Chain A
Amino acid sequence: MAELLQLPEWAAMAPTLALVGTALVLFLIDSIEPKSDSVSRTTLTSVGLLGSLSSLVLSGWFLIAGTGQVDGPVRLFDGSIVVDGMSLFFSFLVASVTALVVLASHDYVEGENHQAEYYSLVFLAATGMSMVASVNSLAAAFVAIELVSLPSYALVAYLKHNRGSVEAGLKYFLIGALSSAIFIYGISLVYGATGAFRFDRIAQAVGTTPVDGVLGLGILMVVGGIAFKTAAVPFHFWAPEAYEGAPAPISGFLSSASKAAGFVLAFRVFTTAFPLDAVSGTFDWALAFMVLAVVTMTLGNFAAATQEKVKRMLAYSSIGHAGYVLIALAAITGTGNDSLVLGAGMMHLLVYGFMNTGAFLFIALAEYWGIGREFEDFNGLAKQAPVACVAMTVFMFSLAGLPVGAGFFSKYFLFTGALGAGLWWLVVIAAANSALSLYYYTRVVKAMWIEEPETPHEIESYPTALYAAVIAAAVVTVLLMPAFGIVSDEAVSAASALFAA
């Protein structure tokens, strides 16, 4: 792109800058008119949609134009920030989820206080997530992760009159603070052992000097910090409470975009800073991720199967999906298969971003209508709201891995990648988990379409924006099937660039 060369280098950060700019504009609107009702929600939603969609378009455009991919990554701030295919892919993901969440929140926050703050906190968190995708240094990673976490705590506790929401926020904050402490202690140990923050310099130091136990301990603690962000075992305890207590659009936001941010950091740290062949002597992280993947997916799926509340089931299923994506790290072997399996993990996160956010937005719709939280409360809902229920059916079957949505494709490639790495036993466990998941996802579908309600639902209004968000998520989930060739090309080329570096 000739005209792109005229732009300064920091323009490559435009997707992230669009998000932070939106957050500031929203603060500005709020400071001019601080009262919640005086600025119409339409203004806030429009600004938010504009910001998130421009971030979406920019990252999509950069991906296609080859920014940071054709001529190698764009390095900023002495190389602590890089823009490459991987970061643009995840910026695209974060922007898409943000757009859906903003659209859905329009109806959800009706009648609540501090609406402008709500929107700007969403954008600050989104900025953090988009930044996590670009960090190339442990210090920057910590700052970006905190930028995700701090607004998230406030957002989970946004419904101040609701005890569940406040309790969830507190629990999320306490575990978050603990894991942040572990994470930063891990960073300091890594720094102590290698004398570097930047991923490439850490890799150099690890490659030249013999590694010792301090570094191994540091890596283990970094794994802990990442496990918290991705809601993987052993730092998953917060997830069911936080996702259940939070406003439903925020649950979707955290379980899709925030999880993806955690994973992109993991992908980058473990492929560039701690190459497996250099550190496997002191800390074999592929083995650690194998164990974590098995435990996380099994725990998530079995817990999801025993839930009575739909939102909590989705929360546990989100843990289960973190387990599937961990396969992408577990199956790294240092061969040509790596970019396939890492790319498959990225694809699964992208597809998951739409299908899981969509499912939580459907829950938001149910909460908006005031129907209950348990499976039985959804009985017969399809009679009143067939369109939304079709969308939810697509989400559920796609999450379960039936080929009505792109979820089947990404799972297939994850499993093929793991087979390519010789981890057939891991694939067997994952496939068994996937088969089990069909049971609890089908329960929602069965309730909506087949069961008769004890008392008919009284649905008075059909919120346009929330509906639009749910339908958009469903349409994208389905359309990603024919478009999967494009997604997989981008993901695999981004992943292979990481290994080439």
Chain B
Amino acid sequence: MLIEALLALTLLAAGVVFFAPNKYAGKLAAALSAVPLVGSAWMWLNYEATGNALLGGDMAFETTAQWIDLGPYAIQWHVGLDGVSMPLIVMTTILTTMAIVSAWTPINERESQFYGLVLLLEFGLLGVFAALDFFVWFIFWEVVLVPMYFLIAVWGGPRRKYAAIKFFVYTNVASLIMFVGFLTLVFSLGDSVTALDLPQIAQALQVEGAVGSIAGFGPEAVKLFAFALMFFGFAVKVPVFPVHTWLPDAHVEAPTPVSVLLAGVLLKMGTYALLRFNFTMLPGVATDYAEIIAIIAVISVIYGAMLALAQQDLKRIVAYSSISSMGYVILGLVAYTTHGVGGATFQMISHGFISGLMFMVVGVIYNETHTRMVGDMSGMADRMPWTVGIFVAAAFGYMGLPLMSGFAAEVLIFLGSFNSAIPWAPIYTAAAMFGIVIVAGYLLWAMQRTLFGEFTLSTDYDVGRAPLHDVAPLVVLLACVIVLGVNPDIFYGMIQEAVNPILENAPDVGGGL
């Protein structure tokens, strides 16, 4: 019942904060968001599970209850955690609380509604990671869209309405396509599944010849069709090239605390779903088309980094770099090696913290200078030593400096993908590694221009030290990055435990590292 309690309290907090007086909303939201934070930490401490949730492993905090028994497939309330979802839950609660605190300075109107929607977003995100019934999962998946739409459209920048509707339409159409793809797969299984239960469906798919024909198309065609539709639906969320175009608009227009959650957690919904659905349920198709997916991943890495290199807006730089980092995740997943898939999952966590931190730093600088343009400022290090120090540390984390979480994640991914059975795997890996060079290039270049040298600023604001409640979340997130870098095993052990069963199922590959 712990997961239900966590969800219920988060939803309740959202409702309370939404109608609270504006004056106290920020503090109240931070206090109430501590409840899921402490709850998830407690769950992590008491976490006991083995194996993968979908492939017959023992889950932690699992509950199942009959909900709607109607039609060909029963719908159950089924939630539970394994080594993939547990770290994501912890990351979500930490990032939400930090995002709420970081919003105290920039959000100055309709505060109660803002914080209420952020908590509603957290509710949806926790549900996505905990749900193990397709119907329940899809409800949470869609619930996430609603607060995000409002958060961008009401509190965003000048082009917020366009960015919000683009985000909404893009991801909603993608959801619909994914829904059709998955249901096709379920229908093709015929009588071997009786519920929309994800573990049941995943295990039915492992049986040889389980997938039947639909409308004259053979099992292989049905699998490919379902895989392609789901891949497209999730790729929009990740996003990967070429369906990434909603992301820069949404990020640039979203208020900074929302960007933190957008980059930190929402993008992980896409990679999480890819891992859970495409790569766990249909490993055969994934390995058959591994080269195409790997090429998409490498293009995302390089193209995202190149786009970041071309930007003048600090926030856009961070936004595009997310596309690049998510490319690594896809590369790790498609490698189908222990370290590849494990590293990709670890990168989801690592990137959540690092990109959240980067957006937050840019936000703090913006709070003081009211500009984000690289050309508008220089020498910020003199005025904001603490913030700039954290900026530099976060940037090095992004570049993969050892002892920070990004290093652990990327080393694992590259190890895994280098040893993958995909033809030309070392070449894809080398190409993706080159992305790191570009990342270092654009981050160092941007920092050199903005942070160091003579202090100049083209806007008329008196730049002082950022208030403590702006800097504190930065310190917390940086601490998370470093702790995970020094001791990745906080999460990596459970991730590996949950990922290994996926690899045992994968045909023709595996072995190696």
Contacts and interface: CB of A to CB of B under 8 A. Distances in A.
Interface of A: 340, 343, 382-383, 386-387, 390, 397, 402-404, 408-409, 412-413, 416-417, 419-420, 424, 431, 435, 438, 442, 446, 449-450, 482, 484-485, 488-489, 492
Interface in B110-149: 110, 113, 135, 138-139, 142-143, 145-146
Contacts of B173: 435
B139 A403 contact: yes
A52 B165 CA distance: 42
B113 A386 contact: yes
A485 B67 contact: yes
B146 A404 contact: yes
Nearest to B77: A482
Nearest to B176: A435
A343 B19 CA distance: 38
Contacts of A412: 135
Interface of B: 18-19, 66-72, 110, 113, 135, 138-139, 142-143, 145-146, 150, 153-154, 161, 164-165, 168, 172-173, 176, 187, 215
Contacts of A416: 71-72
Contact of B71 (A420, A446, A484): A420
* List of 3 A-B pairs having minimum Cβ-Cβ separation, nearest first: A403-B139, A488-B70, A485-B68
Nearest to B161: A450
Contacts of B72: 416, 420
Nearest to A387: B19
A219 to B, nearest CB: 30
Q: Which label, helix, strand, loop or mixed, suits the secondary structure of the B interface?
A: helix
A485 to B, nearest CB: 5
A403 B71 contact: no
A107 to B, nearest CB: 22
Which residue, B68, B69, B113, B145, has most C-beta atoms of chain A within 10 A?
B68
A449 B172 CA distance: 20
Contact of A485 (B66, B138, B143, B168): B66
Contacts of B153: 446, 449-450
A371 B145 CA distance: 30
Given A435-B176, A450-B161, 7 more contacts: A343-B70, A382-B113, A383-B110, A386-B19, A387-B19, A416-B72, A438-B172
A340 B71 contact: yes
A488 B69 CA distance: 8
Nearest to A416: B71
Nearest to A439: B169
A440 B150 CA distance: 16
A397 B153 CA distance: 16
B67 A417 contact: no
Contacts of B168: 442
8 contacts: A386-B19, A403-B138, A412-B135, A435-B173, A449-B150, A450-B154, A484-B68, A489-B69
A390 B70 CA distance: 31
Nearest to B68: A485
A395 B19 CA distance: 19
A402 B66 contact: no
Nearest to B168: A442
Contacts of B145: 402
B71 A413 contact: yes
Given A386-B113, A387-B19, A492 B176 contact: no
Contacts of A408: 139, 142
A484 B139 contact: no
